[in-house]
Amino acid sequence: MIEAGTHRFGPDNATLLVRTKRGGAAAKAGHDLEIHVTAWKGTLEVGEDPDGTTIELAADATSLRVHKGTGGMQALGDDDKANIHQTIDDEVLERGDIAFRSTRVQAAPDGTRISVEGELTLRGTTQPLAFDVAVAKDGTIGATVVVTQTRFGMKPYSALFGTLKVLDDVEVVLDGHL
């Protein structure tokens, strides 16, 4: 069970990352990416009454940095990572705010899971989003959420005349400790 009170998360005590997968006829040329969000903050406010629990998260869209790339014809170099960062800033997220605010949070009776419903805002578009947060006995928390880019008016990145593209669904992963 999570103690009542305010629990804060950020790069100092948790990891927030985005995983992309590649597709298309030229998929072998690209990389599946693990991108770390380096500037973000989250708050889990647990009320004495479980219905008073809220979750909020805000991330700086310009703080995404490629941590690693797997697959591809050759390893990602520093120039490749810098180009990906620039593309994310200029074309994918367009330096827009990223924010999540819960509208409903419900803890499982045994305290091992929190079901969350809320709204995610990307590039000025807000859509509903639901996910579960796993809570371990040692206070470790984790969540994996699938975000479909086109639901937010985003066109998944493509290259080589569309034969190499980032798949529409990306995973957002949060791991931390209370």
Domains in the chain: ranges and CATH: 5-177 (2.40.128.110)
Task: Tell me the pLDDT tens digit for each residue of 58-94.
Answer: 999 999 999 998 888 888 888 889 888 898 898 888 8
Task: Tell me the pLDDT tens digit for each residue of 100-127.
Answer: 999 999 988 888 899 999 999 999 999 9
* Cα 39–Cα 45–Cα 46 angle in degrees, nearest 5: 145
Average pLDDT on 33-57 reads: 90
- According to the model, what pLDDT value does residue 51 have? 72
